[in-house]
Chain A
C-alpha cells in the first residue's frame, strides 16, 4: 500500500508541477515495459494469487522472488537514463541483497511482526518459518543477516493501517515518486 501511494502521490505532484510549468503531464517514457510484466509474473503466482500460492514450496517461492527482482534490476538498467530510476534500483538492490542473504525471503523480527498480527497468531509461526504467504520470514534479529536492511520500520502507532517495511522499500517509494514527479526528466528551474 505504501508503494502504491508513492505512484499516486508522485503522479499528483507531477501533474500539478507540470501545470505550473505550463506543460502536459504523462507517465515517464519507460522502455521495455513488457519486461516488468514478465518479471512480476513469478511473484504474482507465488505470493499474490491465492489459488496458486498455496502450491508453492518455500524454495520455489524464494527462487521466484529472487529471479523476479533480478529482472526488475535489468529493467532499471535498461531505463538508466530516466531521473529517479537509480534511487528505485538502489532500493531494489538492497532488498535483493537482504533477501538473498536470508534464504530468499525478507526477514522480519517477532517484535516487528507483533505489531501486524495478534500474539496468538504469531506464536503459531516458528522461527525461520514463512510469515503467511508473503515475502517475509520470521527471524530473530541475532539470526538475521544484514538486519538493518530487513522489514524493521513501522508506520506511526496512531495510523490505523500498520505495515512493516525496509530501507529498500523507502528508496523504491522515493524513486517512484521522483520518476512520476519529473516524468523521468531532470527538473528545470522556471
Chain B
C-alpha cells in the first residue's frame, strides 16, 4: 500500500504544469466552438 502511494505520488509529480495548461486550453477551445456554433443532431429531442 505504501509503495503504491509512493508510486502514485511520483507519477503525479511527473505531470508537468504545461500539460495541465494544455488540457485546460483545449477544454476552453471546446467551449468556444460549442458556444459559438449551433448544430443540431436531435439527440435530446423527445427525452
Mark A residues whose CB is within 8 Å of B: 1-4, 6-7, 26-27, 30, 33, 36-37, 39-40, 43, 48, 68-69, 72, 75, 88, 91-92, 95, 99, 106, 108, 113, 116-117, 121, 124-125, 131-136, 151, 161-166, 168-169, 172-173, 176
Contact = CB atoms under 8 A, between A and B. Distances in A.
Contact of A166 (B31, B38, B41, B44): B38
B36 A121 contact: no
Contacts of B29: 7, 27, 36, 176
Given A27-B22, A151-B38, 9 more contacts: A27-B25, A43-B35, A92-B36, A113-B40, A131-B40, A133-B47, A164-B41, A166-B39, A172-B37
Interface string B17-47: 0000010111011111111111111111111
- Which 8 residue pairs across A and B have the least CB separation, nearest first? A116-B42, A132-B45, A40-B31, A3-B33, A165-B39, A106-B38, A92-B36, A163-B41
Interface of B: 22, 24-26, 28-47
Contacts of A165: 37-40
A53 B40 CA distance: 16
A72 B36 contact: yes
Contacts of A117: 42, 45-46
Contacts of A36: 28-29, 31-32, 35
Given A117-B46, A132-B47, A164 B40 contact: yes
Contacts of A124: 46
